[in-house]
Chains A and B, each alone.
Chain A
Amino acid sequence: MTSWRIARLVAGKDLRIEWRSRVALNQVLPFAAVVMVMFAFALDRLPRPAGAEDSLLESVAPGLVWLASLFSLLLLVQRAFAVETDDGALDALRVARVDAGALFWGKTLALAAQLAVLEALLLVTAVLLYGTEVRASGVVLLIATWVAATFGLASVGTLYGGLAAGARGRETLLPLLLLPVVAPVLIGATRAVEAALGTGGTAIADGWPWVGVVAVFAVVFGAGGTLAFGPLIDE
């Protein structure tokens, strides 16, 4: 079987499991929404920065959307590997010698699909809750950021999820390992979305270099994951 077909098989299996169990829908999505609401409570009454056109919440909305995405990513990654370890399926995959690179991409695609929906809903939440405005001229930049950041987060999440899957105390180990590594995505995606939304008068052109940073991150961790996932889950 080709690697691509294995990847599709694994992604389809993961998405079917999520659809049946509704964990992402009933737990992760409400968690992300609660995080956004808590940010609103915490920052709503703070005064508008001197000389700024936007309220504080509007100014920080891009960063809050990505922070909520990161927190949700931790839950999604843990869930993605819990289904593999609950009944020893990951061991069975190792014994069956399923192409590890294809397994990595299958899990990354499934994670990316869930993350993409979640991020889109978080942006809508920011528009509704924080009064963030999306300008038409920034839509292409917004979509490019969304795609690059989603794949970057999904690939690094899968890689570190695989690393932590067999470890003792993996629930606490995963955030410790993952959060520092995804800092470039948080910074890059936040700056790019600020430019797309025009936060603080940022020009759209200022956002593209940041999309480049996030895209390079996604490519590096995509390639690294393809090569390293096998040895990581093997022992």
Chain B
Amino acid sequence: MESPVVELDGVVAVLGGFPALAGATLTVQRSEIVLLRGPNGAGKTTLLRVCAGLVPIARGQATVLGCDLAVDRAQVRPLVGLLGHRNGLYLDLSVQENVRFWGATVGATPLEVDAALERLGLAGRLAGLSVRRLSAGQQRRTALACLVARRAQLWLLDEPHAGLDAAARDEVDATLRQAAAAGATVVVASHELERAGALATRCVHVVGGQIEAEPVPR
């Protein structure tokens, strides 16, 4: 059996002296779309940042994409894509230039960049537009195209629907389903339970820095 993409066992992460994660245990398999739900301050964002190798773990075992985060958490970073409240784009560059730049950081070919733009519906006229001139939904799609060009295997998304209208949310959902179908694994932290719940293959409840009993996959 293929080893899980994310395997956290009793992970404790301390931020500013407080345990933001207090013994979190979670397993995510390849091509799953997992929804993290829970109140503000529950530890959802910290969980995503731990998986991205940005926050050190104080105790417990954490393996992401085969990298042991307790040994070298930076090792996992090139393999994951973390999309927070901001898109990580250069607003004065065009869509194509942004995707090309992020793709080039991992040596993506122009063909791969074009494929990423095509896949996100950003080819043609949109590709040449400055990101600053795009709608919020188009900017988010550009950020997702950058993840595709960066060949991210694990997508960690924090409130990916925030600030988007219904049409843009549909676009994001379609992209995430497509990414999972293509072999990527997606972990989403969201308050939009109805929408994100419909998207996810599994929902996980985060409370007080812990994962409540992991439900059986739907």
Contact = CB atoms under 8 A, between A and B. Distances in A.
Contacts of A88: 84-88
B99 interface: no
Interface string B90-106: 11110001000110111
A1 B107 CA distance: 6
Interface string A76-90: 000000010011110
Contacts of A96: 77-78, 102, 105-106, 150
B80 A87 contact: no
Interface extent on B, as a size class? Answer: 20 to 34
A20 B74 CA distance: 34
Interface in B57-97: 74, 77-78, 80-82, 84-93, 97
A96 B153 CA distance: 12
Interface extent on A, as a size class? Answer: 20 to 34
B201 interface: no
Contacts of A1: 104-107
B90 A95 contact: no
A87 B54 contact: no
Given A21-B92, A88-B84, 16 more contacts: A1-B104, A1-B106, A9-B101, A9-B104, A9-B105, A13-B90, A13-B97, A16-B97, A17-B90, A91-B84, A91-B86, A92-B102, A93-B105, A94-B54, A95-B77, A96-B102
25 contacts: A1-B105, A1-B106, A1-B107, A6-B105, A9-B105, A13-B90, A13-B93, A13-B101, A20-B92, A83-B90, A83-B91, A87-B87, A87-B90, A88-B86, A89-B90, A92-B82, A92-B146, A94-B54, A94-B77, A95-B52, A95-B77, A95-B82, A96-B102, A96-B105, A97-B78
Interface of A: 1, 6, 9, 13, 16-17, 20-21, 83, 86-89, 91-98
